[in-house]
Structure 1
Amino acid sequence: MLKLLVVEDHALVREGLVRLLAQMERGVEVQESADFESALNVLDNEGEFDLVLLDLALPGIDGFAGLDILRRRYPAMPVAVVSAFDDTPTITRVLNLGASGFIPKAFSGEALLSAVREVLAGNIFRPIGQSGATLDAETPVPPNKTGIRPDEVGLTDRQGQVLALMVRGMTNRDIADQLGLSEGTVKIHATAVFKTLGVSSRTQALVAVARYGIDFESVF
């Protein structure tokens, strides 16, 4: 019998997910928790589930930290994040932390069930078309209490270095001199940085750095 756990603090969303997941198959068991602590109690008392669906914006804990705890304590149990924070860096970080999938809350019920089935089949689910997401003043950013490394949002070491020097106000030529690269190569790295962050300009990239709390200590 399929056994699922929904961890979501908003009652209306949680109840909707539970009713929807109950349609997965005959006899499916769907349990629910309104916060991370109660979810851990359920897991400790009842053993592992076939899948945990985890919201990122939970009370009392950073959602990324919660995901990390679940992956460490229950490494064989798949966890899929279901969240409204569906920008590219968030999806990348979630998958880098070991989630088996990222399912946007904007999905229809049919699309969500399809994504859940994909994860239950042992595959990694990432929504199509999210790699081109853009960041603007209205884009929500999930709670993050500590700085994150550039690689956690999908940047390579070199891309992290280029972005760090952008933050210092250096021009492409200055960055090229600093890193021993050609100016053309710096432009290529900058374009890749913008794509990864879902932005289209230096200004937006600097906003993204501030909002995500990217820490460049590890890149030099």
Structure 2
Amino acid sequence: MTKILIVEDHALVREAMAQRLACLEPELVCLESAGADEALALLEAHGDVDLAIVDLMLPGANGFSLLGVLAKRYPDLPAIVVSAMDDDASVRRALSAGASGFVSKASSGEVLALAVREVLDGGMPTPRASPPGRGARSLSAAERYGLTSAQNRVAELLATGGSNREIATKLGLTEGTVKVHVTAIYRALGVSSRSRALVLLSRRNKGV
């Protein structure tokens, strides 16, 4: 059974999302929340939530703040932002705050359903460079995390499980230079360990 938490302060929008997502599978359950505090209380009460859908414009704590809290308290819980604030800056900020995907409120219910399925399968849907009503492409690691071209090349090899020495050999760099790049990648991803970086980068690759 899949359990999805919808955090949206407009009841009609929230209910419409729940009705559309109910078509994804027979036993899908949607928990509904009008704000951040209520959402966190629901997560405490239900320890088996598979996905959160978060609006950015919420009463009290905004969606960006909620994403930050979710990333810290529930690091394994993917979150999709569904918002009318769909400019590039908002998309990048939401993804940097921990969102696993972004869907514009101008999109259809079908696009939302596809995004939910993609994130549950390990992908990362975003609205960037997508024709209206035609779905979305996924961001590259460089686009999402603001990596330089050199850091992106290291990140691609890092995602395959390569050691610093192996990466250095393949790219014709010194191990020291690779270590500097890896440290910068950790900082960009907001992680402190190689294992966590591998999880994020491998998840990113599944959505390409």
TM-score for both structures, normalised by structure 2: 0.61
Q: Distance in 1 between matches of 2:127 and 2:52?
A: 18
Q: Which residue of 1 aligns with 2:53?
A: 53
Do residues 88 (structure 1) and 88 (structure 2) align?
yes
1:91-130 matches, within 5 Å, as 91-129=91-129
Q: Which residue of 2 aligns with 1:26?
A: 26
Q: Distance in 2 between matches of 1:81 and 1:154?
A: 19
Q: Distance in 1 between matches of 2:27 and 2:123?
A: 23
% of aligned pairs identical? 50
Letter aligned with residue 76 of structure 1: D
1:46-195 matches, within 5 Å, as 46-129=46-129
Greater relative contact order (CA < 8 Å, ≥ 6 in sequence): 1
Q: What secondary structure does 1:53 align onto?
A: strand
Q: Which residue of 2 aligns with 1:37?
A: 37
Q: Which residue of 2 aligns with 1:9?
A: 9
Letter aligned with residue 62 of structure 2: D
Shift of 1:9: 0.1
Shift of 1:68: 0.3
8 Å contact from structure 1 (residues 48, 77) kept in 2 = no
Shift of 1:50: 0.8
Q: Deviations over 1:11-59 (max 9, x none)?
A: 1101101111111101111110011111111000111411000001000
* Shift in CA distance, 88/153, structure 1 to aligned 2, threshold 3 Å: farther
Structure showing greater radius of gyration is 1
Structure 2 unaligned segments of length 5 or more: list them: 131-143, 149-208
TM-score for both structures, normalised by structure 1: 0.58
Q: Which residue of 2 aligns with 1:184?
A: none
How many residues are matched?
A: 136
Q: Distance in 1 between matches of 2:74 and 2:96?
A: 16
C-alpha RMSD over aligned residues:
2.1
Shift of 1:154: 5.3
8 Å contact from structure 1 (residues 78, 99) kept in 2 = yes
Q: Distance in 1 between matches of 2:56 and 2:28?
A: 24
Q: Distance in 2 between matches of 1:80 and 1:111?
A: 12
Structure 1 unaligned segments of length 5 or more: list them: 131-151, 157-220
